Structure 1
């Protein structure tokens, strides 16, 4: 789709948004069509790297030890848990739920993924927060950097779903580029492309919706 078309919709959404004393997010409402969402293969559950980030702090937690833990701290991870703390978190469901709501991305050395699945999976799994596995061939610093510009897109079994893709104070062009990246990803997700997209709307938190496509 035309980038100019997206940019026009973004500018209209920003212009129509009332002035507020707090920072508003930029949200997309995506409506699919002609899909059986009871079929898991039709559901979207992807991590998408945005070219301009989301305009806010992304919190990251890492399960690692030794040099990897030190490099994660150096890269700015908000939490670095020693693997011995996994069982402790598993016994403290309230703390784990708080972390799951606060942290955007979890990363874990691959060796600890089975234990995390067993002890924390019930909390992290339904929220789409199971850790990104860190295998020996991957660089923790690169994964943290990548995650800061990523969002989780999950439709579950719904034809309509919502995504926060930026902040109101971001440049309109950068917001439009983020939207284009998401729409292109969804278009290539389905064999029939945009035929399976009924509509896409953009809005600020408190503003009216503007149709993108």
Structure 2
């Protein structure tokens, strides 16, 4: 299918508030990464695709690295929000909680496709990326701790450390699914086993 050079939507025409314009630019940037690859994401090209002048994109992001970082954070925040919604289904028995946690985290990761990883790769070596990445990891770890605390006998500090390891394992399994190295169900089964070990309640 031929790639479209259309903008994300018609909001690029007419006046938008600053927050609406920023949202439109991020959506357009994500579309560029999806259709053309992260290497094509520049402030100048974003302006063309979004139907705005170059000064508008520079006003919002200042540099290409700044744009990539904000896109990276936005995609991951969207993933974490979906993850929280998926887990906010009321109380479950331990085994159901563990399996739901495994499936929800992997699903939220794979639903982003290659975009999150592509943007991350484009930021490789960036000191700013390391700071943002740690911030995002901390948010996810807090979510894992909150979900697992009722089902684990580990002390708070140990549970937090174990959750860090689980997040790393979950990201590795997400990448494996995205690359086609295993199926989503296979990854979920392995991840649930790892989570079960932390919760001392194997699914």
Q: Which has the higher contact order (CA 8 A, sep 6+)?
A: 1
**Is the pair's TM-score, using the shorter chain for normalization, greater than 0.5?**
no
* TM class, shorter-length: under 0.3
- Using structure 2 for the length normalisation, give the TM-score: 0.26
Identify the structure with the greater helix proportion: 2
- Using structure 1 for the length normalisation, give the TM-score: 0.26
